Every structure is written in C-alpha cells, then in structure tokens.
C-alpha cells in the first residue's frame, strides 16, 4: 500500500436517520459496547420495543415520591453573654483589669465567680442567679503571668482581676498579644 492511499474505516449504512448509537449496535451486533444497555426504540415507527416494569421497590423514574416526613425541633443556640466595659492598667508588679458589672449582675458575689488562670491566658465565668452566665476570656495575654499569685474579687459593682506579672520589668502596653 503506498503512502498516497487513504483507508476509510467508517461503515456506511443505508439509513441516514440512524443515530451513532444505533449504528454501533447494528454494525457490531452483540459485540457492541452499547448492546446490553441499548434502549430498544424503533426510530422509523416511533414505538418502543422495551417494556417498562413498575411496582413496589422498583425505581422507574418520574416525579419524586415522599418516603417519610419528620419534624425535628430546632435547637436555639444563644450567643454567650460577654462583658463589654472594662479597663486595665499596669502598676509595676501587677496588671489590673476592672470589669463593669451590667445591671442584671449587680447581685453577684465572689462565690459566683469562676476563673482559670493560665501562663498566658485567663478564662472567667460569672454565674448570675436566675440568668445566663457572663464570660470574659483572654486567650493570649501580652506577657506571661504567675497564675498562683493572681486573683479576683468584686469591689463596688466591678470585678477586679489582678494578674501577677512574671517579669516585673516589662510594661504592658496592651492586654492581649
């Protein structure tokens, strides 16, 4: 065979209205990839040759069918109450944080306070009688503190948190890093 001769590998059919799928099935018969999955449809008459079987447990398509309906109660997640008014200052050995108590916390005592000091953090929870608790958290303090020597108390409508500085020579210009 010389290089100028071209070979045409396409198979022609007599019917121009045959789809590529039908053409593949007609030319390759049972060896066609699509044979087993072929939808039997006579394009000349427009009739289906396949039979649709329906019944319980058989999926045949069509509109969606509601299988089950259930109503679940929606859980309402409240935003935790947080303190918004506070100040802090550095008095050489300690850093002092004063938090103003909101009106609904005026009845709180020292027994209502729960505080956890870390080397560079503090986590305060104020359990308010007949109400939701308030929280105040500093995840990363500006410098390290001595947790064992730090404390908390209530004085004149304010929560006073005293943080004992680990290094007294470093001045705190801000509360958190």
Q: Does the 81-164 domain belong in CATH 1.10.3720.10?
A: no
Tens-digit pLDDT profile for residues 114-150: 999 999 999 999 998 888 899 999 999 999 999 999 9
Cα dihedral sign, 20-26-27-30 = positive
Tens-digit pLDDT profile for residues 117-127: 999 999 999 99
d(CA 122, CA 79): 20
pTM: 0.57
**72 within 8 A of 59, measured Cβ to Cβ:** no
Looking at the chain, the domain(s) classified CATH 2.60.40.790 span 81-164
Tens-digit pLDDT profile for residues 47-103: 556 666 777 777 777 777 788 888 888 888 888 888 888 999 998 899 999 999 888
């Amino acid at each position: 065979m010389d290089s100028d001769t071209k070979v045409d590998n396409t198979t022609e059919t007599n019917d121009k209205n045959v789809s590529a799928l039908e053409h593949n099935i007609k030319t390759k018969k049972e060896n066609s990839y699509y044979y087993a999955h072929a939808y039997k449809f006579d394009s000349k008459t427009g009739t289906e040759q396949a039979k649709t079987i329906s019944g319980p447990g058989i999926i045949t398509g069509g509109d969606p069918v509601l299988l089950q309906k259930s109503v679940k109660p929606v859980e309402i997640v409240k935003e935790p109450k947080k303190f918004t008014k506070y100040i802090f200052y550095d008095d050489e050995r300690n850093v002092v944080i004063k938090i103003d108590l909101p009106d609904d916390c005026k009845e709180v005592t020292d027994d209502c306070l729960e505080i956890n000091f870390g080397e560079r953090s503090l986590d305060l929870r104020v359990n308010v009688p007949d109400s939701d608790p308030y929280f105040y958290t500093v995840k990363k303090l500006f410098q390290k503190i001595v947790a064992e020597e730090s404390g908390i108390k209530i004085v004149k409508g304010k929560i006073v948190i005293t943080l004992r500085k680990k290094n007294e020579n470093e001045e705190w210009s801000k509360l958190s890093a």
